[in-house]
């Protein structure tokens, strides 16, 4: 009897960790599992993503299987929004005389590839004056949690995406947290770096190079490498702009304190700006 229970428990663990896309997870063997996770899955199946996201948010910081599933489900909700016209901060840009895809990207501070994706552009050389293009701001940051083997994308305090890290090469899990930035995204053709970076080509595989010299890639590239699935890397390349903050998190407790302090400072700065604006209006 004990062996049967252990076998069934292992099967449920595997289905949760790997993601059961065929239907809702079986929660019958998890009496202490939050009911909100099962309810969120049902809401997502009904297309009620906003309600599902509301239920999932309290579990973003949870440890173990519960937290990982909540973060992964949140990614299934938010990534399509952030890579579509339903982006919460999407805006319109009118093409001007002399504009090309690179200039539009600079003016909107949006990736060329993402502009193409959002507007269904196949040939970026055929922009027309007066054409309305949807663009989105690129304010996301990346956290690489080496102890948990997770990579998460954040927009302020909103979790956008969460990916499993397949492996680490030359990166220790002990020590201080390391803050760096995204230096560039490399385009890969047949696994080799191709000279198409920055040309607006969206349908190519990507790897990400950090300012610290670390590389996010599907295969070990030599030196410090964070390995992720290629499809996840391709999504990251559309969610992050060059210069985006990247933090290699080794000490979770210290990082949580640092983030809380930073958010408090940002809130204080925003409050000070409002106070200054009110003082000016009164004068």
Does residue 21 carry a pLDDT above 50?
Answer: no
- Which one, of 193, 159, 178, lies nearest residue 59 by Cα? 159
CB-CB contact of 237 with 140 (8 Å): no
| CATH 3.10.350.10 assigned to 91-135 | yes
Report, as an integer, the average pLDDT of 20-40.
64
Q: How is domain 141-250 classified at the architecture level of CATH?
A: Beta Barrel (2.40)
Q: Break the chain into its structural domains and give their ranges.
A: 2-78, 91-135, 141-250
Sorted by sequence, the CB contacts under 8 Å of residue 153 that are 6+ apart come out as 140, 141, 142, 143, 159, 160, 161, 162, 236, 239, 240
Report, as an integer, the average pLDDT of 123-131.
91
269 versus 196: which is more confidently predicted?
A: 269
DSSP 77: H
pLDDT on residue 33: 79
Distance of CA 183 to the CA centre of its chain: 17
Does residue 23 carry a pLDDT above 60?
Answer: no
Does residue 69 carry a pLDDT above 80?
Answer: yes
Measure the CA–CA gap between 52 and 39, rounded to whole angstroms: 7
Least confident of 25-34, 45-54, 256-265: 25-34
Question: pLDDT averaged over the chain?
Answer: 83
Kindly indicate the confidence band of residue 186, based on its pLDDT and cuts at 50, 70 and 90: confident
pLDDT on residue 268: 79
121 Rama class: left (phi>0) / alpha (psi -120 to 50) / beta: beta
pLDDT on residue 189: 60
Report, as an integer, the average pLDDT of 151-170.
94
pLDDT tens digits for range 198-242? 444 455 799 999 999 999 999 887 789 999 999 999 999 999 999
Report, as an integer, the average pLDDT of 152-166.
95
């Amino acid at each position: 009897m004990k062996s049967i229970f252990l076998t069934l428990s292992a099967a449920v663990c595997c289905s949760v960790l790997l993601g059961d896309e065929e239907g809702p997870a079986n929660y019958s063997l998890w009496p202490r599992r939050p009911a909100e996770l099962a309810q969120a899955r049902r809401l997502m199946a009904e297309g009620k993503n906003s309600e599902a996201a509301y239920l999932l948010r309290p579990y973003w910081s949870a440890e173990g299987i519960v937290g990982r599933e909540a973060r992964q489900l949140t990614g299934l909700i938010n990534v399509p929004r952030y890579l579509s016209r339903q982006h919460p901060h999407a805006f319109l840009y009118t093409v001007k005389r002399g504009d090309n895809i690179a200039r539009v990207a600079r003016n909107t501070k949006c990736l060329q590839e993402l502009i193409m994706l959002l507007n269904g552009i196949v040939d970026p050389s055929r922009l027309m004056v007066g054409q309305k293009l949807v663009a989105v701001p690129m304010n996301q940051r990346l956290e690489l949690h080496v102890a948990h083997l997770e990579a998460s994308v954040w927009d302020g305090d909103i979790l956008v995406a969460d990916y499993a890290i397949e492996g680490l090469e030359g990166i220790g899990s002990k020590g201080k947290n390391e803050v760096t930035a995204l230096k560039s995204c490399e385009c890969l053709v047949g696994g080799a770096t191709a000279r198409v970076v920055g040309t607006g080509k969206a349908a190519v595989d990507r790897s990400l190079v950090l300012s610290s010299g670390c590389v996010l890639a599907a295969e070990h590239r030599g030196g410090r490498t964070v390995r992720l699935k290629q499809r996840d890397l391709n999504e990251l390349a559309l969610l992050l702009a060059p210069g985006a903050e990247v933090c290699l998190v080794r000490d979770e407790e210290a990082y949580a304190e640092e983030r809380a302090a930073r958010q408090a400072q940002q809130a204080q700065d925003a409050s000070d700006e409002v106070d200054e604006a009110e003082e000016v209006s009164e004068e």
